[in-house]
Structure 1
Amino acid sequence: MEKIYKLSNVTCQSCVRLIETVLSKTEGVTSATVNLATETLNIDFNPEIILEEEWIKKLTDLGYGVKEIKDLKEVNLKIEGMHCQSCVSLIEKMIPKLKGVKSINVNLATETGMVTYDSEIIKLSEILKKMEELGFKGRKIEELKTEDIEEDKKKLKKDFNEFLLAIIFGGLIFYISMGHMIGLPIPKIINPEFNPLNFALIQLIFSIPVIYSGRRFYTVGLKQLAKGTPSMDSLIALGTGAAFLYSLHGTYEIFKGANEYAHMLYYESGVVIIALISLGKYLEKISKGKTSEAIKKLLTLQSKKANLIRENEIVEVDIEEVEEGDILLVKPGESVPSDGVVIDGHSSIDESMLTGESIPIEKLPGEKVYGASINGNGSLKIKVTATGKNTVLSKIIKLVENAQGSKAPIARMADVVSGYFVPAVIVIAVLSSLTWYYLGKNGIVTIPDSPSVFALTILISVLVIACPCSLGLATPTAIMVGTGKGAELGILIKSGVALEKAHKIDTIVFDKTGTITEGKPRVTDIISLGNRKVDELLRIGSSLEVYSEHPLGSAIVLEGKNKGFEFLEVKNFKSVTGQGVKGIIDGMEVLIGNRKFMENSNIELKNIEQLNDLGTLGKTPMLMGINGKLEGIIAVADRVKEDSKITVDILHKMGLKVVMLTGDNKKTAEAIGKEVGIDIVISEVTPEDKYLEIKRLQGEGLKVAMVGDGINDSPALVQADVGIAVGGGTDIAMESADIVLMKNTIRDVPLAMELSHSTIKNIKENLFWAFIYNGLGIPLAAGLLYPITGHLLNPMIAGGAMALSSVSVVSNALRLRFFKSKY
């Protein structure tokens, strides 16, 4: 039986050896392999010989934690019917109680949820059924499509129509109930002074369409209240419901002859509150739609058609029909239908929508192109290498979707508060209402209305103003806009967690090769130590290195090609690991390698002071010997990228410490570090040990971000607090990194840090105003200032303020769309 387990307390290679040794000596265990970087154990054991509990006990006795990693399913759901953070809390509280459900992460701003469950224990249909019982409708979504955007537009139109229904009839009721008080003309047939019953009945009739438009508050809110899981809908249903029921009672009393009740009707408060909340929700949805514009823009870039070349004929087909290996023609000005490789033609491609780089890139045969990028003036024939979900654009959309649907740790505060918020508000509303009724009834406080009307006003105001909508939207909207803006800039932030962690970073660790440097060694110096000319040494050296696979040898070959040399024939080629290469060229024995190689080959070394000078400059010198005599030095170096020094300078201005991690020798590493302005240089580190260096820095209390190419640096990227991959679109699916920089430049590292800081600042602003709003609004609605000012908070004003609070939070988050770097 093969299984995978997560280990804890595994700190070094000796731990790995100890665990593997103990398990290998355990009867019934066929094999056991520990991965230190991921802290996982792959084990194959026979349960008939040894029980799982027995070998786990052996490891726990040694001080290690062992937990099975189950093959859980993750499904993205579209959840309809959520209105506030209490809805989110309700789902996140009740769904994980189902046996087999590990977790559900709900995002109010995107109205989505990611549920993780064990399909062997529970089915998705059972989860959706439970969700429906709670008052919400969930459906599985594979990925966001253009059809979903159209569906959202239809729902938005429906919401507008219902708001229009509520505002028209609500306005009529408001005019009828309040117009006569300020001298506005009211037909005698419905004037309360002449026909109080008609006055009440017309308001009751006009209230029905408004109640219908806001029916969800009652069908869902009261249902949730009955189940002991109240939400914002419950607050609105209680508040407006109390107003309607009281007014209905007043209408009945008028019917019996008690005409004084005509001045104690609350129909207008109930309907205007529903209308205002409907308006707030409509404006909120429009604003939330703007927060996801980044994904919408990417979706609109996807081609619908492609020109397929089949048997020398061009056939226009739907993009869904294109398969890997097909040959497509991309005409001037068209968008590239899918990822591929140019096989014929020459043109410039605008890839700004993928990388944020505004300058078009020249494309020749053999170079890669990406779907949705825009072709320039030339025609191209491309061979398709990826379609559908495997294209770079689709992967970007998926990354941004996942990030926008994720939850940052800072949101947990809102989750905890909202879990207790609604029940607490109901208690406060009831207690404050009863208190004022008692005070008014017993004459302790002078009130203008009857005690029951005054108490009802208090009850409705508290219930309506206390909606935690703004609290629930504070974090997800900012994350949506922040990650969307990042995507526009070519910075893909994979989650809200990564976004929040990034703003706490105080140390940036760079891998050297391919990150700070170009990653392509080039010949920098050729020094003749004898009578041979420089070009002759290069021609001989490049001819020999053609047979070598070493990167330094490739640099010499490239230099020879650039000079246009025809390579000489080489006989008896031999490579000596860690030293150099040798062979026979035109009867001459030629050797290229390091000092040790020359000494072992009995070649006398003299007058080579240049070796130290070259090493100090960060160059790698290779000695060349011909027929037993030292003839020259060829120096190779990996050139520093143009923007490396600028980037390090900016990071220093931001107050960050910069570290360089490399496997290069100390002299070379320090030379490059000095050139760029690095604070700490850690050299001669193997790829396997890079993550241990990250761990060591973290052990010193530093918050570390690791910047690498996402391939051989993956253990270090995973170990770092934030892993940043610089790879461009060629390797977008870098699972090990938290942030992916689409441009092949580190210049966007400080930009990513800035964006993180701005987004977290925005979240904190949103949370501050959300808490302040509720913190001040509830006491005001409860009549705290009435003894001083003599005024109560009108329920309609409370409803309007509640609606505007959500809009203000979303509007503040939208400011991130205008984010720009300070540097």
Structure 2
Amino acid sequence: MPCQHPPRHKAGTDHLTANGCTNSSTTQGSSVDSGHKDDDVERGPASYERIILSVGGLKCGCCETGLSKALRHVPAIRNHQVNVVLARVEFDLDTSRGSITEVISRLRKTTGYTFEKYDQPEGQVLELLVDDVLEIHQAGRPFGVTLLESGDKQYWHPAMLWSGRNSAIPPTPLLVSSSPDQGDGTMEKFVGPSLYRRNIRIHYNAKQIGARDVFEYYQQLAPSQNVQLAPATAHPSLAIGARQTKRACILFAVTTFFTIPVVVFAYAPVNHNNIVYAHVSLALASVVQIIAINEFVPGALQSLIHSGLFEMDFLVAVSTSIAYVYSVVAYVFQVKQKPLETGCFFETSTMLVALILLGRAVNEYARLRAAKSVSVRSLQTQEALLVVPGGSTAPGGDTRVIDARLLQYGDRFKVLPHTRIVTDGEIVYGGSEVDESMITGETVPVAKGLGNTVHAGTTNGRGQLVVALTKLPHENSISRIAMMVENAELSKPKIQALADRIAGWFVPVMAAIGILVFLAWMLFDRIQNQRTWRNAVIKALTYTIATLIVSCPCAIGLAVPMVVLIATGTSARFGIIFREPQKLEVARNTTDIVFDKTGTLTTGSLTVIEGKLMGAYPENIKSMILGLLEGDKHPVALAVCRWIKSHPDDNTPILPTKMVDIQSEPGSGVTGVCEASRLKVRAGNPEWLGVKLLESQHTHLCVTIDGFHGATFRLQDRERPGANKVIELLTSRSINVHMISGDSEGAVNEIAHTLNIPKVRTRWRLKPIDKQKYIHELQKAGKVVMFCGDGTNDSVALKQADVGVHVNGGSDVAKGASDVVLMTTRLHDVLILLDISIAAYRRIILNFGWSALYNLVAILMAAGAFVRFRIEPQWAGLGELVSVAPIVGIAFSLKWRDYGRKYRGLE
């Protein structure tokens, strides 16, 4: 596949293939093994890689406790995170203590689950199907191809050609690699022909060679190979979820097939004294019990032995086994014509297993649907209508359909009416209206014409467009949003810790309750009802089985992660990305919101009102200013550069002077040295430069050349549309609004007056450290502070705030320091963010409430506390379905509300 996602951290240098990330920072909410010792001289210094594993075999929401404990017991692992909904774990692995293969083997032994490593290679990867991998290697590597790597399958060593098919030579994977600048084609390991088609991953630099060029290169030089693109694969979480759902459904279907006859024999009006029915029931129930033992016992024993944990599978295994064993004993007495008072109840054990497996199947399906519902990747179109290179962009121009993975830089593609746009680009022909709701959450189509940008996954209207590609599928809007959402989904809010503790103690407590129920009913029946000990024990067993089975910690385990998953996915549909889901819980408590001025409360598109140049050679000054500021993305620098270019002297274009040693001081200005004259040029705010100016309501940029005042520019900004209404709504929620800026007092006061922000909550001429201190002072006063900014000079403040919000269009540094990223420049997205946070928290509390209510009522009913209302043992298996279904419904209700509707009129 050419569309791979860049890793969150850089790949380890001790592997040629990208298989992890090094030196990852500690993530909030993760567990650290305090027993780690990195001072072993023989091992050498610790070398950490960030590893992501997909987990197969998770059965319910309470599986997280055992899996987390198993991870904590591996000394080489730290900072682990588990998401049972997505069936993924992520952790830092010290490769000096053990390999990923050893870790997977140990985790599989201690948990019983299967683990599959999720590789996130750097750069682009094209995956092909070939017959002979050796011939592909012999075809060489065009410039830009950096690595050839075998896929998931194994290949025979070339020696098999001489030693025959039964050679004992072990399989060896292909791995051909060299540095991009060597080009020596060194083969470290290789393989020969195979009876089967194999997949080969080709790593390449997309800026040096395109995916289509790579594909056509190997098609031409290895024509006998019938080179084809490998089938597109689903995201690992979705693939594993689909497999587990299919397996759960098959198990339920098979179990039901054997259960139905047993139930019919038990409840149908037939002669129950006929021993034939007992024989058949025993045979069918034995098959069901074998399925139950295989499904529940291994995992329960592994968790008990290796992690010391009693999981729900343990209670299920014990309860179903008790019912089955008792029925076998009763069957033996019936065959000997000495029937027990209660007789056989094979239907109890079989129905228990069938209904539990039904609950598991619904649980798996719900988790899969939840993962799919928030998967932005499903919006990626798989095919593109490529405009033939060199052809006309007119409607009648030549086009051909290609796989979207084969797009490359320089391509133009056609977008037909009412189809999705395949990737980001710029319109070069046509006009239409585009539905961008997948990015903005706004259903109103946006008019697009020549020169406008379009985004992957958005839907074209009635017009026809020709788009010049600017982003490949692996780096387009869909991939960027999906990557941020997926990275965030592994972390969890602090409230999850409460759910984890409850789920961890749930099974031992239920085991204790089960013993009490058994003793209570046995003694009550023997003493109060004067029944025999045997009959009292039998009746007590039925109550105990029902009590143990009907309880369900899965609802507690899924109460938080299901809501967080849906909430982060829903917010992403509105262009709001929670990089840290912990902040989903914090945001609702916000008491103060601090806005940066330029680019956040204002448009950030400044206009030069006046430009004064001092000295006899203004054209030289303009040239030096242009050379100093041309690469600067600050709004003031951009505005000044535009003004200089639009004010040439004598109609002669201004050319930038070459500057060296350019250094930027956030919040102050830029310094550089003219390469030819060695004059030191500084541009920034007047205070920093020591220039005295009269205070005004405008923003000022001054320039000095070797200490002499060379130029002054007065600039004007305007408030962002709808900003005053947003601030009014925030104030109506009793949230204090603040505005801080590095700009002059006059410019700040002008915007504050326009937006009705009290002067006491405004600050000006603040450097990055001053912004941090301002937020810190609010926090010391007990405030929960949200900070909204976009520039590099806001990064420290974004980190300091309880919730740091990055506004689209700002610097990547600021984005990296933020907790929440707004994909649009709409200010009312802050209101939507708060609404989603409040709605998510309410649903988490509602889920906890339902979980507690269900378990309390169900356990009391199963235990016989309500004499006339009792849950029979055979129906107790419905517990998981009854308890989990509302949890899923409550979480999915987040998707049914249009959070942006009431704010659409603000801009």
Partner of 2:229: none
Could you tell me which amino acid in structure 2 is paired with residue 476 of structure 1? P
* Paired amino acid for 2:805: I
Task: Tell me what 1:507 maps to.
Answer: 592
Taking the aligned partners of 2:46 and 2:772, their CA distance within structure 1 comes to 26
Q: Whole-Å Cα distance in 1 between the matches of residues 772 and 686 of structure 2? A: 32
Residue 419 of structure 1 aligns with which residue? 504
Is contact 1:408-1:500 (8 Å) kept? yes
Q: How does 1:78-97 map to 2 (within 5 A)?
A: 78-97=54-73
Distance 1:751 1:445, change over 3 A: farther
Aligned equivalent of 2:560, options 459, 467, 475: 475
Q: Is the 8 A contact 1:447 1:454 kept in 2?
A: no
1:637 Cα deviation from its structure 2 partner: 1.2
Q: Structure 1: which 5+ runs fail to align? A: 1-36, 39-51, 54-67, 181-185, 528-539, 580-591, 606-610, 624-632
Distance 1:678 1:542, change over 3 A: farther
Q: How far off is 1:287 after superposition?
A: 2.7
Evaluate the alpha carbon distance shift between residue 447 and residue 110 of structure 1 in structure 2; reply closer, same or farther with a 3 A threshold.
farther
1:206 correspondence with 2:281:
no
Relative distance call for 1:69 and 1:507 in structure 2 (3 A) is farther
Task: Determine the C-alpha separation between the residues in 2 that align with 1:384 and 1:553.
Answer: 25
Which aligned pairs between 1:279-318 and structure 2 lie closer than 5 A?
279-305=358-384, 307=386, 309-310=388-389, 316-318=401-403
Aligned to 2:234: 146
Query: Does residue 783 of the first structure (1) align with residue 861 of the second (2)?
Result: no
1:682 aligns with 2:763: yes
Question: Of the candidates 130, 137, 161, which is equivalent to residue 114 of structure 2?
Answer: 137
2:790 touches 2:809 (CA, 8 Å); kept in 1? no
Provide the residue aligned with 1:748 in structure 2. 829
Give runs of aligned pairs for residues 3-22 of structure 1, distance below 5 A: none
Change (3 A) 1:647 1:130: same
CA shift, 1:150, in A, is 6.1
Equivalence map 1:791-802=2 (5 Å): 792-802=870-880
Could you tell me which residue of structure 2 aligns to residue 736 of structure 1? Answer: 817
* Inter-CA distance 438–593: structure 2 relative to 1 (3 Å threshold): closer
Q: Which residue of 2 is the match for residue 175 of structure 1?
A: 264
Whether 1:815 and 2:893 are equivalent positions in the alignment is yes
Displacement of 1:491 in angstroms is 0.9
Q: Which residue of structure 1 aligns with residue 739 of structure 2?
A: 660
Residue 481 of structure 1 and its aligned partner are, at CA, apart by 0.9
- Report matched runs for 1:753-768 at 5 Å: 753-768=834-849
Return the alpha-carbon distance in structure 1 between the equivalents of residues 439 and 69 of structure 2. Answer: 38
Which residue in 2 is equivalent to 1:251? 331
Task: Quote how far apart the aligned CAs of 1:457 are.
Answer: 0.9
**Matched residues in 2 for 1:209 and 1:733: separation?**
61
CA deviations 1:575-594 (Å, max 9, x no partner) are 9x999xxxxxxxxxxxx999
**CA positional deviation for 1:638:** 0.9
Question: How far apart, in 2, do the equivalents of 1:493 and 1:132 lie?
Answer: 32
Cα distance in 1 for partners of 2:722, 2:105 equals 55
Aligned to 1:73: 49
How far the C-alpha of 1:763 sits from its partner, in A, is: 0.7
Give, in whole Å, the separation in 2 of the partners of 1:280 and 1:403: 28
Cα distance, 1:453 vs structure 2: 1.4
Superimposed CA distance per residue, residues 714-768 of structure 1 (whole angstroms, 9 cap, x where no aligned partner): 2211121111111159969922111111111221011101101110111111012
Q: TM-score, normalised on structure 2?
A: 0.69
Aligned to 1:329: 413
2:787 maps to 1:706: yes
How far is 1:563 from its partner?
11
Do the aligned residues in 2 keep the contact of 1:465 with 1:777 (CA within 8 Å)? yes
The structure having more radius of gyration, on CA atoms, is 1
Q: Does 1:697 align with 2:674?
A: no
Within 1, Cα distance between the matches of 2:481 and 2:638? 34
1:130 CA drift (Å): 2.5
Query: Are positions 1:241 and 2:321 aligned together?
Result: yes
* 1:429 matched to 2:518: no
Work out whether residues 526 and 635 of structure 1, in 8 Å CA contact, stay in contact via their aligned partners in 2. Answer: yes
One-letter amino acid of the counterpart of residue 787, structure 2: M
Aligned residue runs from structure 1 range 571-590, under 5 A: none
- 2:601 and 2:723 in contact (8 A); partners too: yes
* Whole-Å separation in 2 of the counterparts to 1:154 and 1:95: 24
C-alpha contact (below 8 Å) 1:85/1:415 kept by paired residues? no
User: Deviation of residue 310 (structure 1)?
Assistant: 4.1
Say yes or no: does 1:410 pair with 2:495.
yes
Give the direction of change, closer, same or farther, for the CA distance of 1:717–1:175 in structure 2 (3 Å limit). same
- The separation in 1 between residues aligned to 2:686 and 2:742, in whole angstroms, is 19
1:381 deviation in Å?
A: 4.7
Give the letter for the 2:282 counterpart.
L
- Say if 1:294 and 1:488, in contact at 8 Å, map to a contact too: no
Task: Determine the C-alpha separation between the residues in 2 that align with 1:594 and 1:487.
Answer: 38
Matched position secondary structure for 1:735: helix
Query: Structure 2 counterpart of 1:362, which letter?
Result: K
* Distance in 1 (alpha carbons) for counterparts of 2:585 and 2:55: 25
What is the Cα deviation at residue 225 of structure 1? 4.2
SS in 1 for 2:718: strand
C-alpha distance 656-447 of structure 1, shift in aligned 2 (>3 A): farther
Q: Are the structure 2 counterparts of residues 433 and 482 from structure 1 closer, same or farther at C-alpha, using a change threshold of 3 Å? A: same
In 1, Cα distance between equivalents of 2:102 and 2:791: 39
Match of 2:482 in 1: 397
For 1:806, the equivalent position in structure 2 comes to 884
- For residues 755 and 600 of structure 1, what CA distance do their matches in structure 2 show? 47
Distance 1:137 1:811 in 2: 29
1:163 paired to 2:257: no
Give the Cα–Cα distance (whole angstroms) in 1 for the partners of residues 80 and 639 of structure 2.
Answer: 52
Work out the CA distance in 2 between the residues paired with 1:548 and 1:457: 87
Matched with 2:176 is none
Structure 2 distance, partners of 1:740, 1:491, is 6
1:542 to 1:751, Cα distance in 2 relative to 1, 3 A: farther
| Counterparts of 2:775 and 2:46, CA distance in 1 | 29
State the distance in 1 between where 2:870 and 2:300 align: 26
In structure 2, the CA distance between the partners of 1:145 and 1:513, relative to structure 1 (3 Å rule), is farther
Structure 2: 5+ residue runs without aligned partners?
Answer: 1-24, 27-37, 121-231, 392-397, 630-634, 660-667, 671-682, 703-711
Closer/same/farther in 2, CA of residues 495 and 209 from structure 1, 3 Å limit: farther
Percent of residue pairs identical: 25
Task: Provide the C-alpha distance between the structure 2 equivalents of 1:305 and 1:578, rounded to a whole number of angstroms.
Answer: 45
Residue identity in the other structure for 1:256:
K
Query: Against the structure 1 CA distance between its residues 799 and 595, is the aligned structure 2 distance closer, same or farther, given a 3 Å change threshold?
Result: closer
* Secondary structure class of the residue paired with 2:605: strand
Q: Which has more helix, going by share of residues?
A: 1
Map of 1:320 onto structure 2: 405
Report the 3-state secondary structure (helix = DSSP H, G, I; strand = E; otherwise coil) of the residue aligned with 2:75.
coil
Partner of 1:535: none
Structure 2 SS opposite 1:259: coil
Give the letter aligned to residue 429 of structure 1: G
1:110 counterpart SS class: coil
Partner of 1:493: 578
Aligned residue pairs: how many? 701
Partner amino acid, structure 2, of 1:749: V
Q: 1:183 maps to which residue?
A: none
CA separation of 1:791 and 1:96: change in aligned 2, threshold 3 A: same
- Matched with 1:370 is 455
SS at match of 1:514: helix
